Amino acid sequence: MKITINKNDIINVLSNIQGLTNRKSSLVITETVLIKTTDSGIELTATDLETGFFGSYPAIVEKQGIIAINAKKLYEIVKEFPTSEIHINEIENHWVEIDNNNINYHIVGMNPEDFPKIPVIDDISFLEVESSIIKKMIDNTIFIGSVSDDKRVHINGIYFEYIKKEDQNILRMVSTDGNRLSLVDCIYDKKFNVPQQGIIIPKKSLIEVNKFLDKEETIQIGNKDNHFIVKNKSETIIIRLFEGEFPKYSEIIVKGDTNKIIINRKTFLNMLKRMSILYSDNYKAVMFNFNKDKLMITATNPDVGESKEDIDIDYKGGKIETAFNPKFFIETLNMIDDDDIVLYITDEQKPCFIEGNKDKQFLSVIMPMRI
């Protein structure tokens, strides 16, 4: 192989794939990026064995070939390279020369034949969606992180389904960590021609997908043969789905006979940030006291001290005193763009529902804490 690439054509993709190539796996070669010449340039491939990526990029090809080179070192070299043109030349025994003018690197590569095969999936019914929509859906669910040592698929994955409801077609993502749930809908203006059953996509894979979503483009999404596929004009990501059951969340999101409370989002958010100053691993709960048109929050940490604050709210119900983790509310409020948010609370033992006062496509459910 002997090629010339432009730094600006390759720097972003090398940065984006670091989450895949830096992830621990059973094969050392997954730390490399596979570079293969094509008729019009090069194709890059990376994988962590669960998520595969490949994309096509321009290059001047003097000699055809294929190499596997450490992705982190290649990114660092390209990032710091002082010229826009970079020459890459395979020498012998998988050694690679990277140079231009007075700069010269000799980097050891690996045998490209040992690189894992990325599944090739054909005959897929894709949906065309604005990438900004999928990015927002991922953002509104991925913030509920998974517990590192928890092996349950519904904790480590996001449930994605296609819903036909009356005259609406809906794309939906749902995420949970056992203590809270986040749901986001997108009303799709075209007919579905895809499988209707829900799928569970690994959260860590969707984090990688998010890096490749440009707000200005249209992408294609689809699933087949236990894989979820995301494509743009030149790049494809293939994700191996989790197998297992997701909780029947439809029973959880029923508000029922609840008290409706309207609060200014920014005022509430700033209040929670102040109250969470006393937050610690041993003392996570703060007390929420709802009274007519008034909310008082009290934070107590015997190791630090106590704080309390009240704000005006729109609430006409009776007194409710309950405890919540303020971090959950802060993370949820950061996902809502409305000026005002709405809380739905029944009593101190039931979950709290949170949504925007205008935008009803995002819903968060937070369980109270027992103290």
Task: Please give the torsion angle defined by the CA atoms of residues 5, 7, 8 and 10, in that order, rounded to the nearest 10 degrees.
Answer: 70
Q: Identify residue 310 by its one-letter amino acid code.
A: D
- Which residue, among 107, 37, 25, has the nearest Cα to 72 in the 3D structure? 107
- pLDDT, position 266: 97
Window from 141-155, 196-210, 249-263, 325-339 with minimum mean pLDDT: 141-155
The set of residues, in sequence order, having a beta carbon less than 8 Å from that of 114 and lying 6+ positions away, is 27, 29, 68
- Which residue, among 199, 261, 252, has the nearest Cα to 230 in the 3D structure? 199
74 touches 68 (CB < 8 A): no
- pLDDT, position 151: 78
Whole-model pTM?
Answer: 0.92
CA distance 285 to 359: 28
Classify 133 as helix, strand or coil. helix
**pLDDT per position as a tens digit, 80-133:** 999 999 999 999 999 999 999 899 999 999 999 999 999 888 888 889 999 999
- pLDDT, position 101: 86
Domains, the chain, with CATH or none = 2-114 (3.10.150.10), 127-251 (3.10.150.10), 259-366 (3.10.150.10)
330 touches 272 (CB < 8 A): yes
Task: Say if residue 150's pLDDT is above 80.
Answer: no
Task: Say if residue 331's pLDDT is above 90.
Answer: yes
**pLDDT per position as a tens digit, 243-279:** 999 999 998 898 888 999 999 999 999 999 999 999 8
94 touches 1 (CB < 8 A): no
- pLDDT, position 147: 57
Classify 200 as helix, strand or coil. strand
- pLDDT, position 195: 61
- pLDDT, position 190: 75
CA distance 194 to 217: 21
Buried b (16+ CB within 10 A) or exposed e, 340-358: bbbbbbbeeebbbbbbbbe
CA distance 64 to 112: 14
